[in-house]
Amino acid sequence: MEPIIRTENLDLYYEQFHALKSVNLDIPEKAATAFIGPSGCGKSTLLRTLNRMNDQIAGTRIEGLVSLGGADIYDKNMEVESLRKRVGMVFQQPNPFPKSIYENVAYGPRLQGIKKKSELDEIVEESLKQAALWDEVKDFQKRSALGLSGGQQQRLCIARALAVKPDVLLMDESTSALDPISTAKIEELIRQIKNRYTIVMVTHNMHQAARVSDKTVFFLNGEVIEAAETKTLFSTPEDSRTEDYISGRFG
Amino acid sequence: MARRTDFDEGLNQLRELLIRMGTHVDGALKEAVESLKNSDLAKAEEVNRRDAELNAMEEEILELGSQLIITQQPVAKDLRRIIVAFKISSDLERMGDLARDIARVTIRMDGQPLVKPLIDIPHMASIASTMISESIRSYMDENTDLAYKMAKDDDEVDELYSAMLRELYTLLLDKPESAPQMMLLQMVGRYIERIADHATNIGENVVFLVTGRRPDLNS
Ligand SMILES: Nc1ncnc2c1ncn2[C@@H]1O[C@H](COP(=O)(O)OP(=O)(O)OP(=O)(O)O)[C@@H](O)[C@H]1O
Ligand SMILES: [Mg+2]
């Protein structure tokens, strides 16, 4: 699996706090990679460095390299807007805009200058289909997104992220606020789309990581302890700290 | 995060049950061979009757292990600890059947005197008995050295069995009238040899438990 994202000796500080410590990681292209580890170990921090969401946090300092398709994303010539278009994000709480279902998905493509109704319709339909939501909403696309259930809202947010055709989709605990059935639907859609997009997901549900990801990375105190093929990491981890963590014997 | 006390408690119960099964099988093998040596029909009947207890213990292990999988969702070595306990209990159950089969030979001989004193069979049985306790110990201690040692013991049992076959064959030429009894004794040798194979399987499973990879110790 070819890496699309690579970090080299990546350090991140929040003021004095050393949150990421010399992280060297390859994220394979068109596959799902899961970040696991105890609370506060830096999973979200690393995820946010991948589309420069940390830029908005005052006092953050970064050293080392993060590259996307070979290009340094912290280079001064990198346009953050276009980076975020290539690297989309879905958060823990569904956050649809207070607009119609259709407008939520059409929003990004419109910003990119697509105006033609037929073209937008097509993108909206395709994105809703990829997010496994089309069948449930195709007849009510004009209704407010806020009327959807939590699980549907989260799939709408995924459709919205996919509508701008990103290369990478970052998901930070995107199913942790959902019921088991909605969670299963999102896991299934990840399995469906992961051969077209690169997915990087943070999850506290280790069985979810085991079910949907191809590669799993275990973090502890801002360090990568082990990164391996998911099957290997959950059956024969190399580091005893990984084994302790996945076996629930930690702390 | 909480330590896995419930899980560890469950694992200990599994281990306990495996020890009980191992002790039972070892006892059954010893008694069965004794019964054969002394033409002790009562003892043979007892071994035959008590085999059902082993089946019940195997069921208990399956039940407990399944509960642990459902409620604790173990991964990695913890999961292998349970899978391997399942495998070991099924090996032990088969070993118990084989010990019972030896007792049934005693019953079929129905008190007729032995054509020759038993030498190889008790010798093989004593090695197999050691292997049974070692197999359980290797699981308890997750000791792969012991697993590999058992593979060597198994080779010794195999050799004794071949030697025994050769001897029976010579005897057969000498005393063709005792052929029926020799065939029964040959079967007993075969049963013990199978018991040792099952113990070796347990060793293999212990290596799998520890390393995540399956060796072939039985060839
Ligand atoms: N804006 C911030 N300012 C200062 N410290 C921060 C900030 N954001 C995160 N941290 C600290 O950095 C460390 C890593 O946080 P991060 O949110 O990346 O952890 P996490 O692995 O995602 O945890 P969780 O599983 O709880 O979401 C924590 O110790 C956290 O307190
Ligand atoms: Mg987080």
Check residue B3 and give its pLDDT.
53
Among candidates B4, B73, B76 on the partner chain, residue whose Cβ is nearest the Cβ of A235: B76
Q: Does a structural domain hold residue A79? A: no
Residue B1 and residue A243: Cβ atoms within 8 Å?
Answer: no
Nearest to A156 by CA among A180, A176, A130: A130
- The residue behind tokens 């419109």 is A110
Q: Does a structural domain hold residue A145? A: yes
B1 pLDDT above the threshold of 70: no
Q: Does residue A27 contact residue A6 with C-beta atoms inside 8 Å? A: yes
Check residue A56 and give its pLDDT.
86
* C-alpha–C-alpha distance, residues A204 and A209, integer Å: 8
Distance of CA A183 to the CA centre of its chain: 15
Taking residues B44-60, report their average pLDDT. Answer: 96
* Bridge partners for A220 per DSSP: A223
3-state SS of chain A: helix, strand, coil percent to 5?
40, 25, 35
* C-alpha–C-alpha distance, residues B13 and B43, integer Å: 30
Residue A247 and residue B77: Cβ atoms within 8 Å?
Answer: yes
Nearest CA to ligand 1 atom 9: A45
* C-alpha–C-alpha distance, residues A245 and B1, integer Å: 9
Taking residues B193-204, report their average pLDDT. Answer: 97
Residue A248 and residue B4: Cβ atoms within 8 Å?
Answer: yes
Check residue A245 and give its pLDDT.
95
Q: Does a structural domain hold residue A207? A: no
- What are φ and ψ of residue A154, in 5° steps? -65, -40
Q: Does a structural domain hold residue A107? A: yes
Close Cβ partners of A80 (under 8 Å, ≥ 6 residues apart) = A52, A55
Q: Which of A35, A44, A46 to mutate to test the pocket of ligand 1 (most atoms within 8 A of CB)?
A: A44
Can you tell me the ipTM of this complex? 0.70
CA B178 to ligand 1 center in whole angstroms:
83
* C-alpha–C-alpha distance, residues A92 and A77, integer Å: 31
**Which strands make up the sheet holding A17-28, listed edge to edge?**
A17-28, A3-14, A60-68, A71-72
Q: Does a structural domain hold residue A238? A: no
Q: Does a structural domain hold residue A63? A: no
Domain that holds residue A104: 97-165
Ligand 1 neighbour A39 (Cβ under 6 A) = yes
> Which tens digit of pLDDT belongs to each residue from B97-126?
999 999 999 999 999 999 888 999 999 999
Taking residues B17-34, report their average pLDDT. Answer: 97
Close Cβ partners of A208 (under 8 Å, ≥ 6 residues apart) = A34, A175, A183, A187
Question: The tokens of A185 are what?
Answer: 């639907």
Q: Does residue A218 contact residue A203 with C-beta atoms inside 8 Å? A: no
Residues of B in contact with A251 (CB under 8 A): 1, 3
Nearest to B122 by CA among B95, B171, B157, B147: B157
pTM attached to this predicted model: 0.84
Q: Does a structural domain hold residue A154? A: yes
Enumerate residue ranges in chain A where pLDDT < 70.
1, 251
Taking residues B67-81, report their average pLDDT. Answer: 91
Check residue B2 and give its pLDDT.
46
State the total domains in chain A: 1
- C-alpha triplet B104, B110, B115: angle, nearest 5°: 100
The secondary structure of A204-226 as a DSSP string is S-HHHHHHH-SEEEEEETTEEEE
Percent with pLDDT over 90 in chain B: 88
Residues of A in contact with B78 (CB under 8 A): 247
Greatest alpha-carbon span in chain B: 73
Residues 188-247 of chain A whose Cβ lies under 8 A from any Cβ of chain B: 206-207, 210, 234-237, 243, 246-247
Ligand 1 neighbour A7 (Cβ under 6 A) = no
Residue A236 and residue B211: Cβ atoms within 8 Å?
Answer: yes
User: Helix A117-130 and helix A150-162: axis angle, to 10°?
Assistant: 120
Find, in chain B, the residue whose alpha carbon is nearest to that of A243. Answer: B76
Q: Does a structural domain hold residue A243? A: no
Taking residues B144-169, report their average pLDDT. Answer: 94
